[in-house]
Amino acid sequence: MTDLDLARRAVACKRWRWMPGMRFVDADGDGGRLVGFAGSFDGDSWLMRFVDDYDAEREPVCMDGDASRDWVQSPLPDLTDPATLGCLLALVREAWGDPSACLGWYDPDWKVAGRNSSGGCLLGRSRDSEADALVAALEAAP
């Protein structure tokens, strides 16, 4: 599985949402880092601030209607970026309602573990990467 396939899986999760600090890449291979938002992805419009790979912080971009919905689905998270992985872990913790959920290497797999009423549970596992284990945990979230 490629990094782009994994990123598409992440964005398809019902608990996925963009967070400030995440790095994105678009279909042209250009990217940037989200700085902040105002409004709601489910609403009619929102304001996005970002820093792209070529410039300093750009002017805020206001999107409304179909443009905002298209943008939310168009760029993909850069799952090789450490800050984006941290945000993904935060999404997993939020989705599972477990602030202690953690990611670790347990030979031969990367695993995301958390707590349940019996004391512990496996939320996601991957032999490939940290990102894959986090996406698997987000996909499995209730």
Residue 89 has pLDDT above 70, yes or no: yes
Count of domains observed in the chain: 1
Q: pLDDT tens, 113-141? A: 997 655 678 888 888 899 999 999 999 99
Q: What is the Cα–Cα distance from 97 to 83, expressed in whole angstroms?
A: 21
| Tens-digit pLDDT profile for residues 38-47 | 655 554 455 5
Closest alpha carbon to 22 in 76, 103, 92: 76
Q: Identify the domain containing residue 108 by its residue range.
A: 3-140
Type of residue found at 123? L
